[in-house]
Amino acid sequence: MMHILFYFGILYSACLAQWMVLKRMTREVNQCLPGSEQFPTSVWAFSPRTARAPINQIRIWRLHRQFFRESYLPWLYLATWVLMILFFLLCLQFDRSHAIAHPGVVVG
């Protein structure tokens, strides 16, 4: 049981780190854009230009690479995505291996 909590904790931490990096990248990109083209970063922003939309995340990535060529944030953003996917797969594998290990248990 402790392994799944460990994996889930790291998955949660990776998600939180990914959100923090995206928010910082968005803030930096917004400083270079005019007011009408900025991306809202609020959790409650229901605009089509919100930073959480997947297509806008790609746009923010590209704009950040264009404006800040020497920045490490886009690579850190990719690293957090890889970390999230890795630990999500580990959580699934752990769950699957424990479900197979106890075939005699009837649930329900």
- Number of structural domains found in the chain: 1
Question: Structure pTM?
Answer: 0.74
Say yes or no to pLDDT of 102 above 60. Answer: no
Domain membership of residue 39 (yes or no) is no
Radius of gyration of the chain (CA): 19
- Segment 14-41, tens digit of pLDDT: 888 888 999 999 999 999 999 888 998 8
- The CA-based angle 32-55-72, given to 5 degrees, is 50
Torsion sign over Cα 43, 47, 53, 58: negative
DSSP tag of 38: P
Residue 45 lies in a domain: no
Q: Quick check: is 106 in a domain?
A: no
Each residue's pLDDT tens digit, 89-101: 877 777 666 655 5
Domain of residue 62, residue span: 2-34+52-101
